[in-house]
Structure 1
Amino acid sequence: MTLIKYSIAAGAVAIIAALTFILLTRYDPTQPYFSSHSYWFAKTADLKDVKRSITPRLSTELAEKGMNLNDPVFLRIFKEEAALEVWKQQGSQYQLFKTYEICSYSGKLGPKLKEGDKQAPEGFYRVSSNQLNPHSVNHLAFNIGFPNSYDRANNRTGSFLMVHGNCLSAGCYAMTDAHMEEIYLLVETAQKGGQRSVPTHIFPFRMTETNMIKHASSEWVPFWENLQEGYSWFEESRTPPRISVSNKSYTFN
């Protein structure tokens, strides 16, 4: 009887410890934990079923715009507008295919600085095939590649920063499951078509002069001015720039 009591007590302690860990590391009062799209109801997608049900419709939508599922893609994310854009290459330039609403992201405007700050990153990243996770508990996901060389040069830390489904964020960009299925399929198929990695540019907002003035009091203006260079490059050329890091800043060519 004593052994049974000890076992029950040990089990209760383990459950309390697990719940405490989740609350300390994952809980964010701004997130929809108790909605049908939440951490508690997370589920892994059946990728074969996703492809079977979505590919015909997605192919038709692309064809209506003169695009092909295998064509290279380019992603842009805007925090303030809660928007993720998917662009498709047509000839030497990219054209906008679709804009998806971001269901949830955590933190505020500004970059991610350190592990555990629950801040969604800003900057220039690339997604290769080994960053795709079809088995994610958050209904498909891909790692954006944080920290990149810029982040490391500026001593910024963090890991497992994703774009994923399930509409719940603890530093990631979370989509509805339906939107994530399309985005994942577009990225994966482009890579299978020969694109080595997908450029993924993440901005605090659309970096127009009007918006820069609107946010002129922010401590992050110098960082955002650097991001604006890359934003403007694409706006003018409709081609993602080649990006490198020099003196702890992004450079473009």
Structure 2
Amino acid sequence: MTPILDVSDLTCQFAGVTAVDDLSFTVDRGQIKAVIGPNGAGKSTLFNMIAGVTRPTTGTISFDGSRIDALPTFRRARLGIARTFQNLQVFQEMTVLENVMVGAHTTGRAGTMSAIFATLRQQAEERDLTETAHALLTRFGLADKAQLKAGALSFGQMKVLELARALASDPSLLLLDEPAAGLPHGEADRMGEIIVDLNRNGMTVLLVEHNMRMVMSLSHDILVLNNGRRIAEGDADTVRQHPEVLAAYLGESEDA
């Protein structure tokens, strides 16, 4: 089976500093793959290159069998790649419902003139997008917050809202950049349950996360980066036993 994501010989340099160095890996369809490593390992740069925010210096990125490394972000989103962010990107002055609808609009087909003149096609599309957004809010327990401004939500609820917005575009690959960061133990566990449930329903997930308990419990495969290079890759047991990983990221003890 062709991997849904194929990263080959990827390098990214900024003013002579190499953030990602000759990196190759694949993500299989239906997989939860985690990317771990210390701050500065190149994880966010990798996500930005996959999403189209940053152009690679060299190397290729293929999605669903076709190269995408020269495509702009909106084209990649329409192909089926959605992401959340390490630092929350919630529109706090918009309502919770409107935030999710922003994500749903990437699936829309009505043109500018249809929107200006509020054609029947545009009105029908807007109703569909609203229904999609409401369904996602119901799924994640935010339906009663739909008309509140997003800034009134708790931090944990904003994390879930950002995830709902990403899912509104109906992606086939979900990039999650530290979804548990800043969450207390219980809410982090709930986020992990949401990710597992999404995966059970067919979603492919590429995950950057520092919460090792979450990574080890839900990932099918783990890629470990250091200074932009891969130092280990495999399932949780393989990564746990890798000497460089134990020394650099997980500590020497079995508890880690």
Give your verdict on TM over 0.5. Answer: no
User: Normalising by the residue count of structure 1, what TM-score does the alignment of the two structures yield?
Assistant: 0.22
**Rg: which structure is higher?**
1
TM-score (norm 2): 0.22
- More relative contact order in 1 or in 2 (CA 8 Å, sep 6+)? 2
Q: Hey, which of these two has a bigger chunk of helix by percent?
A: 2
